[in-house]
Amino acid sequence: MAAEAARDGLGRVRRRISIQSLLEWAFADECASIDFEDAGTLAPGYGAIGNAYLMAQRGALGCRIDGGGQSLPDPDADLVAAAVAMLPEGCGGRRMAVQIAELARARAMPDAFVGVQPRCEPKDWHVNPYGRRAKTMSLGIEIDSSGRKARRHDVQVCPVVYRPDGSQVASARRNYLQWWSALSELRITFEIHTNLSRWSVDECMPPMTPWKKTLAE
């Protein structure tokens, strides 16, 4: 997380941060959650009714809710969660919103099979108490007449597969690119609206195609 601070046009001192670190702060550190029901009432600036508003209303009523041992997320974290909930379908919509939140909580990125080499292995296995061995299948009987007496041989082969196969790798990398595009959408959103009180989102992004760097090396 970046420690650099900057003062905006309103005089607020905001620390610069990457969009990925911002998401991790909101979902992992502040334990923000996505509420798709409230997301439908967001204004263009992603200004949902969040915890800051609820706390103000409770203060006006002179009451508080008893119980619970966890503090409310920072209002900025609520704004981040609201923006994630409003991701357009072109960036994956709600499915991607859930994935972004889960990955941010784990401080992880989608698996894009970077550096993974497909392995050739048996398609299936026989497993018993003594271990396992590859399953084979018969291609039929072949007659060997090279000797004095013809011999019959059952021709056995072992079907193999490559894991991960091309379709698995392609699917994982399409998902990674959509995740990257969603983060880019969020970064631009916060860059335009500047509605976070503590943070200023910078231009730093995760690598767009990390597998290409590995291939080049």
Q: How much is the pTM? A: 0.69
Residue 11's pLDDT band (boundaries 50, 70, 90)? low
**Radius of gyration for the alpha carbons in the chain, expressed in angstroms and rounded:** 27
Once rounded to an integer, what is the mean pLDDT over residues 97-103?
Answer: 96
Could you read off the pLDDT of 138-174 as tens digits, one per residue? 888 888 888 778 888 888 899 988 888 889 999 999 9
Give the residue carrying structure tokens 């690598």: 207
CB 135 within 8 A of CB 121: no
- Asked if 39 contacts 86 with a C-beta cutoff of 8 angstroms, the reply is yes
Average pLDDT, the chain: 81
